[in-house]
Structures are given as C-alpha cells and as structure tokens.
C-alpha cells in the first residue's frame, strides 16, 4: 500500500471548536497525509450550533493554520465507521483529556474495531495547557458572560456571545 494516502478521521461534535481540539488537530495532522475533521450530525448531545455552523466555525479555525495544508473539515451522518470507509481512511483520531475520557474512548475504540476491523483508533493525550478545555464548559462560561480568552479564538467567542444574546 505504498502509494496510498494515509488518512485519519478526527470525529466529534465540535460545538464549538476549541483550542483543545485545535491542539490535537495541529499535532495529529502532521502524522498523516490527509486529516479530516469530521463534524457529527448525529450526536447524543443537544448542540448549541447547527451542523452547518459547527462546520463553518471549524473551517474558520483551520484556515488560520497556514503552515498545515492537509486538513479538511467535513460533516458526516450516521455510523462513524461508514464515513471512515467512505473517506478511504483507516485511522480514527481522538483526544484524551484525562482518565474521565479514557473509559468511553477505550470502549468506542473496541466497538469501532468490531464494526470495521481494518480501522484503528489512535488516542492523543491533551497537553497541560489545554486539557481542561471542553466545548461544554466554554458554552457555560459564555452563557454566564465570562471571559473566553485562552479557551477559544476571538471569532468563536464572538459567535458564542451573539448566540447567547439571542436567547
Ligand atoms: P464528542 O461529542 O464526540 O466527544 P467533542 O467535540 O466533545 O466530541 O470532542 C471531540 C474529540 O476531541 C474527543 O476525542 C475529545 O476527547 C477531544 N477533545 C475535546 N476537548 C479536548 C481537549 N481540551 N484536549 C484534548 N482533546 C479534546
């Protein structure tokens, strides 16, 4: 398989994309030929942003990474492993913020492997600077009118402020 591009899929809700996600993206994308940030339509969580907005905001952040050219942002619907196959990928990338993420990620990696034995999940540990960031805490801070410096970009912070001023 020498000439085949190595593609990894980084799936998530990205509601919205944070500096925690971007830290994983920047480090992981370097290891693959193609790196697809896959924004899930179907998520167990109730999302603040519509799928189109989550994709647009992720694209906005990825466009700023001028020195990394192999990242794409795509929405996906249905089973992750079907999307992974349709993209010709064999790797699922996920981030690990701490032990609380571990059990869920470990179980999902088994399930995805069971559903698609040719796929492998690679877990990327968060860095000390970003491990505490989650989309849900960012939304909660925005809802309560707190400062979002160091958690999300100013553009994402503005979108959050706008969203919460509407409700
Ligand atoms: P999901 O709803 O699938 O968990 P998220 O958008 O919350 O989607 O997260 C997508 C992936 O990014 C998950 O693997 C999650 O653990 C990881 N992630 C989220 N925030 C961080 C962070 N601060 N550091 C490292 N990984 C993170």
pLDDT tops 80 at residue 4:
no
Atom of ligand 1 nearest to the CA of 15: 6
Pocket test residue of 12, 54, 150 for ligand 1, highest count of atoms within 8 A of CB: 12
Residues with CB under 6 A from ligand 1: 12-14, 18, 20-21, 24, 43, 45, 94-95, 97, 101, 126, 130-131, 133-135
Q: What distance, in Å, lies between the first and last C-alpha atoms of the chain?
A: 52
**Counts of helices then strands in the chain (DSSP H, E):** 6, 5
The strand pairing partners of 7, in sequence order, are 34
Catalytic residue numbers, as ranges: 21, 45, 97, 135
What was the pLDDT predicted at 167? 65
State the DSSP string of 142-164. Answer: HHTT---TTTS-HHHHHHHHHHH
CA–CA dist 40, 38 (Å, integer)? 6
User: Stretch 120-147: mean pLDDT, rounded?
Assistant: 96
Q: Is the pTM of this model over 0.75?
A: yes
156 cis-preceded (ω within 30 degrees of 0): no
Q: How do residues 9-66 score in pLDDT, each as one tens digit?
A: 999 999 999 999 999 999 999 999 999 999 999 888 899 999 999 999 999 999 999 9
């Amino acid at each position: 398989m020498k000439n085949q591009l190595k593609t990894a899929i980084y799936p998530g809700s990205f509601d919205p994309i944070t500096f925690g996600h971007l830290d994983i993206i920047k480090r992981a994308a370097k290891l693959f030929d193609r790196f697809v940030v896959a924004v899930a339509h179907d998520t167990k969580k109730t999302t603040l942003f519509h799928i189109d907005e989550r994709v647009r905001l992720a694209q906005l952040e990825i466009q700023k990474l001028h020195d990394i050219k192999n990242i794409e942002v795509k929405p996906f619907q249905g089973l992750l492993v079907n999307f992974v196959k349709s993209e010709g990928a064999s790797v699922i990338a996920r981030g690990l913020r701490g032990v609380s993420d571990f059990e869920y990620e470990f179980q999902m990696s088994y399930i995805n492997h069971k559903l698609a034995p040719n796929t492998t999940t690679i877990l990327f540990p968060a860095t000390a600077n970003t491990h505490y960031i989650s989309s849900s805490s960012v939304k909660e801070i925005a809802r309560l009118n707190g400062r979002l410096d160091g958690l999300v970009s100013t553009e994402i912070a503005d979108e959050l402020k706008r969203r919460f001023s509407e409700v």
